[in-house]
Amino acid sequence: MSDDVNKKDAVDFQGSDTVICVTTVDGKNVTAPLELPWGRELKAFKALGGLIRALPALQEIKWDEAIDNPSKVHIDIKSIIAFMPELLADGSEFLGQIAAAALGKDTNWVEDNLNVEGVLAVVIPFFKAYAGKIAGLINAGASHQ
């Protein structure tokens, strides 16, 4: 992982399935691989569990559909705007923990160096990638039966 990456070498988080790249509040690019060691994955998944428990609206998402076909999951802007106050008030601690685990940083670093856009730029591609992996494993297991 590199804290200083030339812009020409940076990978856009939206277009990559192997690397997360985010810009800090002071303009530095930070990258991290989406393939994490188990310890960091575990921290991220524990934080996701806390996020889901803290935000009942997340429990209403059709997770089976999201796992089966993550690229088809769409959330409209009106829903996001309505959900943001709750997400930021009750879920911000968990979002920071997820971003810290994904980047291999501590939560204080995330709080001091990223804004909400940066945190979400880490969290969203991280879980999109893992939802796809989980679906692949489940589907592979089902095809062997």
> Which residue range(s) make up the domain with 118?
36-143
4, part of any domain: no
23, part of any domain: no
Total domain count for the chain? 1
7, part of any domain: no
Query: Tell me: the pLDDT tens digits for 15-72?
Result: 356 888 899 999 999 998 888 899 999 999 899 888 888 887 776 666 566 556 656 6
Helices 38-54 and 77-103: angle between axes, nearest 10 degrees: 150
- Three-state SS across 8-53? HHCCCHHHCCCEEEEECCCCCEEEEECCCCHHHHHHHHHHHHHHHH
16, part of any domain: no
84, part of any domain: yes
10, part of any domain: no
pLDDT value of residue 23:
94
Query: Tell me: the pLDDT tens digits for 86-116?
Result: 887 888 899 999 999 999 999 999 999 999 9
pLDDT value of residue 1:
43
Q: Whole-prediction pTM value?
A: 0.71
1, part of any domain: no
21, part of any domain: no
pLDDT value of residue 5:
39
> Using an 8 Å Cβ cutoff, are 19 and 33 in contact?
yes
